[in-house]
Amino acid sequence: MKFQEDGFTILSAVVSQDACDELIAAISGRDPGKPGSRGLLGNKVVARTANALRQHLLGLELLGEQHRAVQCSLFAKGEGAGWSVTPHQDLSVPVASPVDVAEWGGWSRKENVWFAQPPTAFLEELIAVRLQLDADASETGPLEVVPGSHAKGRLASASVSKYAEHRVKCVVPRGGALVMRPLLIHSSGKPHSPLPRRVLHFLYGPSLPTGLSWPSPG
């Protein structure tokens, strides 16, 4: 496993097929025409999965003991939702409320949650886990990443575009997960099939600087 070097790894089976069905039922009712929702840790089935994933990743030494689940987002493609995402890095994290902390900025509010852009050193400690809930990932707009790009730090838009030429597709089986560093350049294309593609994106982070706190599960 070259996680530290590549900035990502694919785990083929982290939850069962029945668990995928249970999660799909738990998140049903979300607007299929929207790309996703960010506030799912308040759902007991999602929260239980977040804890199980944490234990699994601890065993693989992909997480540290200080890491906890701080956010879960749903990204859903399918009939009527054939969106794509241009190459980018994830630079913002959710926080309970805005606080004047050195090197933290870019404050914004989405879905009633505050977000901020922390310094690069903090971004480098984050781990994202993208859990694939549906099959046929190769046809439904899978994530594309640039291996090793997380090690280049926070990049200007022009540099992101340049490195994006070296993207590789990450086809994750149902019940599997893509584990990645949020600074990894990533994107996703439009699907070639109307089949559903539902991905739960879990963010795990360490303790925040004094004065800041992670948001409540909701």
**pLDDT for 124-174, tens place per residue?**
999 999 999 999 888 888 999 999 999 999 999 999 999 999 999 999 999
Structurally, at CATH architecture level, domain 3-205 sits in: Sandwich (2.60)
Report the C-alpha gap between 118 and 154 in whole angstroms. 11
CA atoms within 13 A on the CB side of 91: 19
CA Rg, the chain, in Å? 16
Identify the residue with better confidence: 29 or 93.
Answer: 93
Report the C-alpha gap between 32 and 41 in whole angstroms. 19
> pLDDT at position 218, please?
65
Whether the pLDDT of residue 114 is over 60: the answer is yes
Q: What is the pLDDT of residues 42-97, one digit of tens each?
A: 999 999 999 999 999 999 999 999 999 999 999 998 877 778 899 999 999 999 99
> pLDDT at position 32, please?
45
Mean pLDDT of 17-24: 97
> pLDDT at position 109, please?
93
Residue spans of the domains in the chain: they are 3-205
Q: How confident is the model at residue 105 (pLDDT cuts 50, 70, 90)?
A: very high
Q: What is the pLDDT of residues 174-212, one digit of tens each?
A: 999 999 999 999 999 888 888 889 999 999 999 999 999
In sequence order, the β-bridge partners of residue 78 are 81
> pLDDT at position 1, please?
63
Q: Are 114 and 98 in contact (CB under 8 A)?
A: yes
End-to-end CA distance of the chain: 35
Alpha helices in the chain (DSSP H): 3-6, 17-27, 44-59, 120-123, 157-163
Q: What is the pLDDT of residues 4-15, one digit of tens each?
A: 999 999 999 999
Single pTM value for the model: 0.94
Residue among 218, 215, 201, 202 nearest 85 (CA): 201
> pLDDT at position 192, please?
87
Q: Are 121 and 185 in contact (CB under 8 A)?
A: no
